[in-house]
Amino acid sequence: MTKKIEEKKEIRVRFAPSPTGYLHVGNLRSALYDFLFAKQNQGTMILRIEDTDQKRYVEGSVEKLIESLRWANLDWQEGAFQTAEIKDNKTTVVTSESYPGIIEVGDSGPYIQSERLEIYQKYAEQLVQEGKAYYCFCEPERLEQMREEQIAQKRAHKYDRYCLKNVSQDQINENLKKGCAHTIRLKVPNDETIVFEDMIRGKVSFSTNTIDDQVLIKSDGFPTYHLASVVDDHLMKISHVIRGEEWLPSTPKHILLYRTFGWEEPTFAHLPLLLNPDKTKLSKRQGDVAVEDYLKKGYLKEALINFIALLGWNPGGGQTQEIFSLDELVKNFRLEKVHKAGAVFDLKKLDWINSQYIKKLSISDLLEKAQPFLREKDFFQEAPTEFQQKDYLEKILTIEQERLSKLSEVGEENKFFFKDKLSYEKELLVWKEMDFGSVKTNLRQALDVLKEIVPDGWRRDILAEKLLAAAGENRGEFLWPLRVALTGEQKSPSPSDVAWVLGQKESIQRIESALEK
């Protein structure tokens, strides 16, 4: 007897952003999880543009979204592209009607919802003909009055089915003939329970008595998110819908639509909310939410992606690893291990992860990434030319690399590296109870040590060795005046490191200036 081998269902996921201007960090997490899940299962990732809410559309945002995903190295195989290659004769490639320069690749297009309006109308009308949906001619004023009465009576806000109960077929036909404004609503059954299995939350159930007769087609002819999303996911053969927890209350509406059409439902996975440290929902009112905001602050993309992957997920099993490359995330990520509880967007954790990635960079790479931030700083722009040279900047970054948490901090704690004249009071040169005579003696000794070093010996290790040897047991009294002479500051890297960066000539000049004080 042979066992029947069940054909494995093809994994198809979609990332479906709205072109509203920027990529939200929560959307980047959804896209990342889509990418990881598809990659692990040899599946297909689709980029669909959900632009049916034309009022929120921001010019150029489709292109910006695509560029953001490309920046994050999240490759997709179907949908909207800025450029595309035809890999075989079966691939369909068309130019978008809505967005010049955007190309749609795949056999399930269009992948831009505003180009699919006839499809949504067709399916909504089908439900009306089958008696599963109905036309609603209620004006906004009536709906608002109904809503106010329900609020006053502390009842749930639901449409009262006035048009379903009171408008005859002859009236409907007459209204349609006249071109009266109308919507199409789904006829939601009463006293039923919608139950589904969520990959993250387990079994979830809703009563249909809590679900309104949702609008499917708005009065402007555009579909609501609910209808468009379900129709598209079905026609594009989406196997798994991975999205934020805020869409969980909409899921029974979507499942109702699937069952009303007689279509197979995808598997749902609702990701935990992103929270501020005070446990409120992450929002622009309390901080940055756009990916580009974090890049402008000097976070590396690898660190940001690593951090976002950990917002609601960790490898578990006793593993303590927190630094993951994209390839390591593909290997270790499991959608089933995503947590239910909200994920706190902890900037301190992001800073720490970013610092780990900064430490891994070569000095030349770090300089390349840090220079755009340096060029914007007044102290750099005003610095003498010799303090702007590549070799000099690389030395500064060698000293700063271990302490940087983001690229925007470069130079901020060590502005003295960019000044040819230091301004400080002579009293700052004094260590504790020292007198000025002892300060002079120690500075002259340090000066002699530095003058004796041959140019080839001007190295960090040699400088540290000779200065510590000269200090002996009186390190504070010897090194404090030297630190201030070289930097004009109370806090700085070690005097030997500062001297190494400044070079022999500049270091000697600064000590001599201190002696003149």
What burial class does residue 293 get, using C-beta atoms within 10 Å of its C-beta: 0-12 exposed, 13-18 middle, 19+ buried? middle
| Residue 128 pLDDT exceeds 90 | yes
| Residue 265 pLDDT exceeds 90 | yes
Report how far apart the first and last C-alpha atoms of the chain are (Å, whole number): 99
pLDDT tens sequence across 429-447: 999 989 999 999 999 999 9
Q: What are 387's two structure tokens? A: 């303090």
Q: Which residues pair with 197 in a beta bridge?
A: 203
Query: What is the per-residue pLDDT for 3?
Result: 36
Q: At what angle do helices 436-452 and 504-516 cross, to 10 degrees?
A: 160
| Residue 5 pLDDT exceeds 50 | no
Q: Are 157 and 150 in contact (CB under 8 A)?
A: yes
Query: What is the per-residue pLDDT for 9?
Result: 78
| Residue 133 pLDDT exceeds 60 | yes
Q: What are 258's two structure tokens? A: 């699937």
Query: What is the per-residue pLDDT for 6?
Result: 40
Q: Give the mean pLDDT of 357-367.
A: 98
Q: Which fold has domain 273-360?
A: Glutamyl-tRNA Synthetase; domain 2 (1.10.1160)
Q: Give the mean pLDDT of 464-490.
A: 95
Q: At what angle do helices 251-261 and 225-235 cross, to 10 degrees?
A: 50
Largest Cα span, the chain:
108
> 274-275 and 343-344: which strand pairing?
parallel
pLDDT tens sequence across 459-476: 999 999 999 999 999 999
Q: What is the CATH number of domain 421-516?
A: 1.10.10.350
Q: What is the CATH number of domain 117-271?
A: 3.40.50.620
Query: What is the per-residue pLDDT for 310?
Result: 96
> 93-95 and 103-105: which strand pairing?
antiparallel
| Residue 4 pLDDT exceeds 70 | no
| Residue 131 pLDDT exceeds 80 | yes
Report the share of the chain in percent with pLDDT over 90.
85
| Residue 1 pLDDT exceeds 50 | no
pLDDT tens sequence across 284-336: 666 678 899 999 999 999 999 999 999 999 988 777 899 999 999 999 999 99
Tokens 């340096």 -> residue: 374
Residue 188 has phi, psi (to 5 degrees) of -80, 125
pLDDT tens sequence across 63-118: 999 999 999 999 999 999 986 555 555 567 788 888 888 999 999 999 999 999 99
* Residue 406 annotated in active site: no
Q: Give the mean pLDDT of 471-495.
A: 95
Assign 2 a pLDDT band (cuts: 50, 70, 90). very low
Q: Strand runs (DSSP E) across 315-425, as ranges?
A: 343-344
pLDDT tens sequence across 175-198: 999 999 999 999 999 999 999 999
| Residue 218 pLDDT exceeds 70 | yes
Query: What is the per-residue pLDDT for 331?
Result: 95
Q: Give the mean pLDDT of 354-377.
A: 97
Q: Give the mean pLDDT of 118-130.
A: 97
Helix (H) or strand (E) holding 70, with range, is helix 61-71
Q: What whole-number distance in Å separates Cα of residue 228 and Cα of residue 215?
A: 11
237: Cβ–Cβ under 8 A, 6 or more apart, which residues?
10, 12, 108
Average pLDDT, the chain: 93
127: Cβ–Cβ under 8 A, 6 or more apart, which residues?
133, 184, 186, 216, 260, 261
Q: Do domains 12-115 and 117-271 have the same CATH topology?
A: yes
Check 87, 284, 331, 451 and give the catalytic one.
Answer: 284
Q: What is the CATH number of domain 12-115?
A: 3.40.50.620
| In the chain, domain spans | 12-115, 117-271, 273-360, 361-414, 421-516
